[in-house]
Amino acid sequence: MAITTCIFDAYGTLFDVAAAAREAAAEPGNEALRDLWPSLAEDWRRKQLEYTWLRAITGAHADFWQVTQDGLDWAMQAAGLDDAAGLRARLLALYRELSAYAEVPQVLSALKASGKATAILSNGSPDMLASAVASAGIGDFLDDVLSVETVGVYKPHPSVYDLVGNRFGTAREQVLFVSSNGWDAAAAAGYGFTTAWVNRAGAPVDRMPWRPAHVLSDLTGIPALAGAS
């Protein structure tokens, strides 16, 4: 079947999750973060994801904003910055307005111009996603923004991927699902989507029962994969 619908993960795929720490480190008064920001950003993201998995497994759901704060608190303590309340507040504020990767507007615009449906499917809570989309100025290129809060469990639970078909009425084979998370791309492939893993870091493929159909270094190849160019 031809691809009719392009679905994007948000954090790490469209939005640069390291941007908050990187931008905070460049601001006056945050000298303590100058050398620490790469490791803090990595720890923050890792714990954020780990907490989504643990909450999904145990049934202890909390929205992604709570998980994001919990991950930051762990990362700041690990970096010896847990008493820097002002820095914590600044990092969280920046996270709500993460920078989009440079190619994002052009890629989404090309998909829309070709008649493809486009949407975000994210762990993010609706208010977080609304802030990020508005800040990046990409709302006009999206038909919808789908959040796991609708089903109350995080990826890669199948009920999350069900949201796409429920919204767009598409067969699974008509969906190109794009994620920077290898585990997400693999699980979505197992679900039946055509998947593209945006492997910006050049990481090994995750050892799961399924593998993404495509592996890219950024998003620029997505329109061609979708038949939009």
In the chain, which ranges are continuous DSSP H helix? Answer: 19-25, 37-58, 64-78, 85-95, 104-113, 126-136, 158-168, 182-191, 222-225
Task: Choose the catalytic residue: 9, 16, 43, 63.
Answer: 9
Does residue 38 have a cis bond before it (omega within 30 degrees)?
no
Q: Sign of the C-alpha dihedral, residues 176, 179, 180, 186?
A: negative
Is 9 considered catalytic here? yes
Residue whose tokens read 């639970």: 157
Q: Are 71 and 91 in contact (CB under 8 A)?
A: no
Q: How far apart are CA 12 and CA 1, in angstroms?
A: 28
Q: How far apart are CA 8 and CA 145, in angstroms?
A: 9
Q: Are 197 and 176 in contact (CB under 8 A)?
A: no
Q: Write the CA distances from 198 to 6, 195, 202, 217, 219, integer angstroms.
A: 14, 10, 9, 6, 7
Which residues lie below 8 Å from residue 103, measured CB to CB, with a gap of 6+?
218, 219, 220
Indicate which residues carry an active-site annotation. 9
